[in-house]
Amino acid sequence: MRFVLCMLLLVVRSGQANETPKGWSDWLSEGQALSHTGNYSAAAHAFREALAIAERLQINDRRLVELHYSLALAYAEMGQFAEAEGEYRCALSLVEKAEGQGSLHYAVLLADIAILPTQSGNREEVIALLRQAIAVNERTGSIKNITVIRECLAQILRGEKRYQEEEPLLEDALADLVRQKAADPALMGAALNNLAVLRFDQERYQESVDLQLESIRVWETASGKEHPSLVAPLNDLATAYLKMARFDDADLTYRRAINICRKTLGENHLEYAVLLKNYSVVLRKLGRKREAKKIETQGEEIQRAVNRRNGVGSTISVTALRSDRTASDPR
């Protein structure tokens, strides 16, 4: 028996010795697959592994940009906005060095940074740069990149209640996606959601509901009914129901969003805090005041913790968006 066990151990060890270690591209593919399923924490781990290997091997900057960008997106989805900003800045620095500030890729990264909750203050410089990027690249740039810039710019304008400027950006983005035979579901879902939010701000509540329902249908078809991408449109749909005094519909929709958020993003996520605070309003409308107070307090505590962790309240500056972290030079 001892001999058999020894032989088995040798076989196991031999197999382990002959295993080929994962390369950076293997980790990247794994991270992308995990992101698609909504497992952002595991995806971030895979992207970090990919970056560590890639930087050690000193691969070209184009690949490093992709890795930093992928990790930034995962961090942003996890609600780790400070970490996301750091990775975006690394990518931005590399793109600036290779292509300059006038490139479309630079504008995409700048747009993604500008909508992080860590950013605030005077945004006119960023708005002007993004408008210029759209104008220069509208006919020749990829629809995906132009759509991302439009959607991000629209969110910045929304924060300043500049709805008339926001509207054509969102309508153009959606129109471009509709014209595509196989539009990216993530972009389509986000475009529908953002236009629905604008309609809500314009007090066109039924239109907002219709667009949110379509956004949810797109996300469910592409990713299933428990994907974290559903949290935002469900929250916005419930808010529209609340405004229309459809309290039972709002109750059901908020509860679904809260359950998905708890399972996929966790209870320390900013989205979870926002959902709890919003749901407390519905509970008050339904006469459940004690429960409402408890949930509202919980949401506020989570939000304060998230804000402290992320240093919310920074100021956007194009010159300040350059990376403080030195990435490997290409060889």
Distances (CA, A) of 179 to 182, 184, 190, 229, 246: 9, 12, 16, 23, 34
C-alpha distances in angstroms, 56 versus 52, 53, 62, 82? 6, 5, 15, 24
Angle at 195 between CA 193 and CA 201, to 5 degrees: 105
Parallel, antiparallel, or unpaired: how do β-strands 314-315 and 119-120 relate? Answer: parallel
pTM: 0.82
In 120-160, where does DSSP find H-type helix?
124-137, 143-159
Q: Is 220 exposed, middle or buried (0-12, 13-18, 19+ CB in 10 A)?
A: middle
* Tens digit of each residue's pLDDT, the chain (331 residues): 443 334 333 333 444 444 568 899 999 999 999 999 999 999 999 999 999 999 999 888 889 999 999 999 999 999 899 999 999 999 999 999 999 988 999 999 999 999 988 887 778 889 999 999 999 998 888 899 999 999 999 999 998 999 999 999 999 999 999 988 777 898 999 999 999 999 999 999 999 999 999 999 999 999 999 999 999 999 999 999 999 999 999 999 999 999 999 999 999 999 999 999 999 999 999 999 999 999 999 999 999 988 888 765 444 333 333 333 333 332 2
Q: CB 26: neighbour CB atoms within 10 A?
A: 15
Rounded to the nearest 10 degrees, the angle between the axes of helix 247-264 and helix 270-285 is 160
pLDDT of residue 27: 95
Q: Which amino acid is at 147?
A: T
SS3 of residue 120 by DSSP: strand
Three-class SS state of 318: coil
What structural domains and CATH numbers belong to the chain?
Answer: 24-100 (1.25.40.10), 219-310 (1.25.40.10)
Neighbours of 212 (CB within 10 A): 28
**pLDDT (0 to 100) of residue 261:** 95
| 3-class DSSP state of 60 | coil
Q: How far is CA 81 from the centre of its chain?
A: 10
Number of neighbouring beta carbons within 10 Å of residue 196: 27
Helix/strand/coil (H/E/C) assignment for every residue in 8-71: HHHHHHHHHHHCCCCCHHHHHHHHHHHHHHCCHHHHHHHHHHHHHHHHHHCCCHHHHHHHHHHH
Look up tokens 């500056």; give the residue: 317
